[in-house]
């Protein structure tokens, strides 16, 4: 079992085979705020992290080996439907349903939703939310 924990100083993985003794790994993304970490139940080797750096801004990281190494996954994380607005942070990551292989969702601030169809390698803004006529309200 793995419990993923995001903090203002990085992310951690708590692992146990018996739920009595735990091994701690991390911090991943040392010195960065980690808003959300999640393991993909469709493929437990895949994990995703929503990271905000005071220097580099917000970005997503993806691991293909259960959190041992991470790679940047930011292609498409821009608010094209809201001119002159930048993505401040990603708050939540959600792997798709079992019948949606490759789909991952990311929710951000200001109110935005992104979808990946390739296991988090690239992202597309969901314009039906960001360009909704009632957005300003």
What are the residue ranges spanned by the domains of the chain? 2-130
CA–CA distances in Å: residue 60 to residues 70, 115, 116: 10, 12, 11
- Percent of the chain residues topping a pLDDT of 90: 73
Residue 39 has pLDDT above 90, yes or no: yes
pLDDT in tens, 92-114: 999 999 999 999 999 999 989 99
- Count other Cβ atoms within 10 Å, centred on residue 27: 17
3-class secondary structure, 119: coil
pLDDT in tens, 47-69: 999 999 888 889 999 999 999 99
Phi, psi of 83 (to 5 degrees): -60, 150
DSSP 74-110: -BT-S-TTSTT----EEEEEEE--TTSTT-EEEEEET
Residue 135 has pLDDT above 80, yes or no: no
| Homologous superfamily, domain 2-130 | YVTN repeat-like/Quinoprotein amine dehydrogenase (2.130.10.10)
Residue 34 has pLDDT above 90, yes or no: yes
pLDDT in tens, 14-33: 999 999 999 999 999 999 99
Give the neighbor-by-neighbor strand order of the sheet with 23-28.
2-7, 10-15, 23-28
Residue-level pLDDT at 46? 96
CA–CA gap between residue 46 and residue 38 (Å, rounded): 9
């Amino acid at each position: 079992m793995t419990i993923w924990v995001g903090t203002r100083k990085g992310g951690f993985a708590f692992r146990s085979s018996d739920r009595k003794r735990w091994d701690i790994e991390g911090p991943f993304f040392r010195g960065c705020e980690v808003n959300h970490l999640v393991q993909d139940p469709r493929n437990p080797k895949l994990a995703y992290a929503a990271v905000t750096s005071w220097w580099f801004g917000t970005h997503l990281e993806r691991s293909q080996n259960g959190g041992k190494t991470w790679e940047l996954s930011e292609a498409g994380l821009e608010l094209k439907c809201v001119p002159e607005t930048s993505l401040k942070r990603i708050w939540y990551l959600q792997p798709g349903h079992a019948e949606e292989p490759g789909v991952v969702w990311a929710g951000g601030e200001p109110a935005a939703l992104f979808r990946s169809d390739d296991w988090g390698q690239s992202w597309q803004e969901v314009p039906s939310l960001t360009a909704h006529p009632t957005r300003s309200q």
